[in-house]
Structure formats: C-alpha cells, structure tokens
Amino acid sequence: MGWLTQFQTRRAARKMVRQLPLVMTRNWGSSKYYTPQQVRRALQETGLHGKFDFIALAAFLTPDDYDTCLPQGAHPEYDVARNLFEKELPGGFTGTYWASAISNDAAASRYGGAWHF
C-alpha cells in the first residue's frame, strides 16, 4: 500500500470514527453488531460511502456478515479492516465505540445521593 493510499485510508477511518457511532446509536440504538443494511444506510447518511466502506463494515458487523456482504478477495481480512477503525479511536475505547451506560442509581450516587421526588 503506497503512502497516498495509506493517508486516504486513515483519513476515511478517522471520519468514520467521528461520525458513524453517533449515527448508528441515534438510528438503531446501542449494539455490539449491526446489519449490513444499517451500516450502509449510515454511510449514505453521513456521505462517507465509497471505496473505504469495508472499514465501517468490519467495525460494525460480525466476521461472518463481513465476509458474506463483500466480494471475495476485494477487501482486507476482517481483523485488518477492523484494526484500521480501532486505531483511530480515542484512547481507552478500543473494542467498543461508545461509553457503557451506567445504572440510574450509580449516576445518582455520583451527584450526592439518590434523587427523591
């Protein structure tokens, strides 16, 4: 892979990291995996669709879905493509693309105790 392709790939991955998790959770809720149709819809919605779709597909699909929705040999292996996405995540988020939700009780305890209405 030449330097220009590497630059374009990293730039595409960086844009996907910034935009896709928000769109995915807004449209379909938080999930470990999504369907190929959902990922492609989010790519269309954000204007990020193109020759680097495989990065987003690897980030949000299961390995089996990734292999079945792309032509054989026309894309990097699942782990390689997923790593391109994860390398651009802010520190501490590798493997997950959003912060985990906490319980209401835990949230209330951070603000001085339980809330009483």
More reliable by pLDDT, 93 or 88: 88
Quickly list DSSP for 57-100: HHHHS-HHHHHHHS-TTSS--HHHHHHHHHTTSPTT-TT-SSPP
Sign of CA dihedral 34, 35, 41, 44: positive
How sure is the predictor about 72, in pLDDT bands with cuts at 50, 70 and 90? confident
Mean pLDDT, residues 88-115 = 59
What mean pLDDT, rounded, does the chain reach? Answer: 84
CB 50 within 8 A of CB 12: yes
Residues 12-35: pLDDT tens digits?
Answer: 999 999 999 999 999 998 888 999
